[in-house]
Structure 1
C-alpha cells in the first residue's frame, strides 16, 4: 500500500466522523499504525497534523471561505478572464483549441503522454507543443483508458509516450521547491461556455473555495449553477484548472470525479502549503 493509499484511508475515516472529532489513537488504529508512526506519516505527506486536517474539514470553515471568496470572483471581469492568472507559485495560461484545429482532429499534431506518481496517486498527463491538453488522476497503473479517450478526441494526432519530457511539469505542479521559469500553458478543447468556466476557476487562489453559483455569476450567467457544475465536471486538466476549489453553497464538498477523499486531500494539502508560505 502506497503512502497516499494509507493517507486516503485515514482521510476517508476522518471525513466520515468529523462530528465526533476522532482522536489520533482512533485514526491510527483504523490504518493499523501506532499513533507515533501515523502522525509522522500524515504530517510528512500533508504538511499538517491530523488534528489540523480535521479542522480543515469542518463545515464552518468551508462556509467562511465561501463568504471570503465572493469578492475575489466579483473582480474577475476587471482582471480579464482571458488573461493569464496567478496560480500556486507559477502562472497558468489557458489557450482554447480553434474550430479549425478541432475539425482537423489533431492532424499534424504530436501529443506526448505518460503516467506519473503524484501526492494524490497516479496520474496521466498529455501535452501538445502548445501546452498540457490532459491531466487526470487514475486508480490503477494502466493508462490505456485515458489514451483511448484522448485518441477519440484527436483521432489524427501522432501519440508518443515520453516519461522524461513530462516529468518536469509534474514536479513543478506538486513540488514546493522546483519552479518553472516560464508560464504553464494549457491547450484545451471545449465549448465557449466551458472555456469561460475553466478560465474563471483559474482566478480562485489556492486554499480558497467558491460555490457553483458564484462561478456562474462571475462569468455573467447567474442562475446557471447546474451548467457550471457540468463544465467543472468536464475539466480536462484537473488540479491546474482547480475544479476541486468549487463546492456547494451549503459548504458541503459536493461531487468530484476523482473521489471526495481525493478532494479532501487536495484541500488539506493546499491549506498546509498556504499556511507555510511567507505571510500565510
Structure 2
C-alpha cells in the first residue's frame, strides 16, 4: 500500500470509528468530514469509493439495531443460507470456494520443520495484509501495521520453516477475495495448523454468508457442542487467516461487535462494508 492509499485508509478508519461511537447522534456529513480533515465533497467521494455507499447509508450498517436484526432474521436457518446459494448476485459467496486442509501431526508439532513458506504483503480495503502460503495452500493471513512485526508473528507460528518473500499463484488467488469481481476466484485451499476442535470451528465459520452474522452460541450449536461457547470464542480468537475465514462475522448475542484480533474498528468496518455491498448487489440483481 503506497503512502496515499495508507493515508486514505487511515482517514476511512478514523471516520468509521467516529461514526461507530456517535451513531446515536446521527452526525451529518460536514461534521464527520471535519473530523478527518477533508472537505465534505472529498470525504463523500472517498468514502463512497471505498464502501460502495454514502457515509449516511453506511451508518445504518454500523448501528447496533442492524446487527440485532441480522441475527434474528435468519434465526436457526442462518447457516442454511450458504448451502442454498446459487451463482448470481449476492450468492456468489467466496465461502463456497474455501477449503481447509489440516496439517499433519508432524507438521503441527515440529514448528513447520521442512515446510517452505512463501510470503508477501498486499493492500486491501482494510489495510495492509501479510499473506503466506505452503505448496498446499494459505497458512497465514493477517492485517499488519508494521511489516517487520508482522513477519515476526508469522515466524512465531512456524519457527523452523524456511521463508521466501515471493508472490505465488496461491497467494494471488486468495487475494482476489478483496476484488469486487469474484468471477476470477477459484477454489482457495488453506493449509492450517490447528487442533481438530479449532479446525471444526473454522470450517463452521465458512458457512456464514457475506453480509450475515452469527453469535458464539450459534456456532457452538452448529458444531453440536451447545455448552462450548467459551471454547468456541477461544478458537475463533486464534483464527490464523484473516477475512478468508470470516471470524469477523461472529458477534455477541446482544448485537455488540465484540473483540477482534486485528482491532474492533476494523471488525466493524468489515461487517458494515460487507453488509453495504451485499445490499447493493441485491438491489442490482433485482433491476
Do both proteins adopt the same fold according to a TM-score greater than 0.5, normalized to the shorter chain? yes
In structure 2, the partner of 1:31 is: 36
Deviations 1:2-22 (A, max 9, x none): 211000010011111011111
TM-aligned CA distance change 1:258 to 1:153, over 3 Å? closer
Distance (Å, rounded) in 2 between the aligned partners of 1:225 and 1:179:
36
**Secondary structure class of the residue paired with 2:191:** strand
Deviations 1:91-121 (A, max 9, x none): 1011111213223433332110011111111
In structure 1, the partner of 2:125 is: 119
Distance (Å, rounded) in 1 between the aligned partners of 2:268 and 2:69:
17
2:142 maps to 1:136: yes
Structure 2: any 5+ residue segments left out of the alignment?
Answer: 1-5, 85-91
* Higher helix fraction (1 or 2): 2
Is contact 1:126–1:135 with CA below 8 Å preserved after alignment? yes
Report the TM-score, using the length of structure 1 for normalisation: 0.89
Is contact 2:119–2:130 with CA below 8 Å preserved after alignment? yes
Is contact 2:44–2:55 with CA below 8 Å preserved after alignment? yes
Find 1:239's aligned residue among 236, 240, 243: 243
Distance (Å, rounded) in 1 between the aligned partners of 2:110 and 2:126:
35
Displacement after TM superposition at 1:88 (Å)? 2.8
Distance (Å, rounded) in 1 between the aligned partners of 2:205 and 2:171:
25
Is contact 1:70–1:210 with CA below 8 Å preserved after alignment? no
Is contact 1:69–1:210 with CA below 8 Å preserved after alignment? no
Distance (Å, rounded) in 2 between the aligned partners of 1:197 and 1:25:
43
Deviations 1:118-168 (A, max 9, x none): 11111111001111000000123x2x3333333333233221001365662
In structure 2, the partner of 1:83 is: none
Report the TM-score, using the length of structure 2 for normalisation: 0.87
Distance (Å, rounded) in 2 between the aligned partners of 1:216 and 1:174:
28
How do 1:89-128 and structure 2 match up within 5 A?
91-128=97-134
In structure 2, the partner of 1:199 is: 203
Distance (Å, rounded) in 2 between the aligned partners of 1:192 and 1:21:
45
Distance (Å, rounded) in 2 between the aligned partners of 1:184 and 1:110:
19
Find 1:4's aligned residue among 9, 31, 41: 9
Aligned residues: 272
Is contact 1:70–1:214 with CA below 8 Å preserved after alignment? no
In structure 2, the partner of 1:267 is: 271
2:53 maps to 1:48: yes
Displacement after TM superposition at 1:74 (Å)? 5.8
Is contact 1:111–1:126 with CA below 8 Å preserved after alignment? yes
* More moved, 257-266 vs 153-162: 153-162
Displacement after TM superposition at 1:89 (Å)? 7.7
In structure 2, the partner of 1:70 is: 75
